[in-house]
Amino acid sequence: MENPFEIINQRLDRIEFLLEKINSNIERNTSKSNYPEIMGINQLTEYLNLSKTYIYQLTRTRCIPHSKKGNKLYFDKEVVTKWVLENKISTQEEIEQKTDKYLLKKGLNLKVGL
């Protein structure tokens, strides 16, 4: 029979290992929050992982929210994050739910079960 103290020590070691792993993941994920509220083009390319050329194209076509002061482009982190999330593509399930909701609203329950 194993010593209960050894079992406890093994479990504590495992918990300690997992906590260290969680902390390293948190540190890695919070690196995005290290960006300032107002970013320049270089910071934005790093933040969004997009090329400068593509960001310039988005600003030229007025697709991405930005400000310009002189020759410098500025991007509000919060506004850009909202802009990225606005362009969410619906999953097949979300589309089906919207379709069902629309059909029920119109009184046309045409969904055929398999």
Quote the pTM value.
0.52
**Does position 55 have pLDDT exceeding 90, yes or no?**
yes
% of the chain with per-residue pLDDT over 70: 85
For residue 76, what are the β-bridge partners? Answer: 38
Q: Please give the pLDDT value at position 114.
A: 46
Over residues 55-69, mean pLDDT: 94
Calculated CA dihedral for residues 59, 91, 22, 31, nearest 10 degrees = 0
pLDDT in tens, 64-92: 999 999 999 999 999 999 998 887 787 88
Strands of 38-39's sheet in order across: 38-39, 72-76, 67-69
For the ranges 27-36, 67-76, 102-111, the maximum mean pLDDT occurs at 67-76
Q: Please give the pLDDT value at position 30.
A: 57
| Model confidence band, residue 50 (pLDDT cutoffs 50, 70, 90) | very high
Q: What is the 3-state secondary structure (H, E, C) of the chain?
A: CCCHHHHHHHHHHHHHHHHHHHHHHHHHHHHHHHCCCEECHHHHHHHHCCCHHHHHHHHHCCCCCCEEECCEEEEEHHHHHHHHHHCCCCCHHHHHHHHHHHHHHHCCCCCCCC
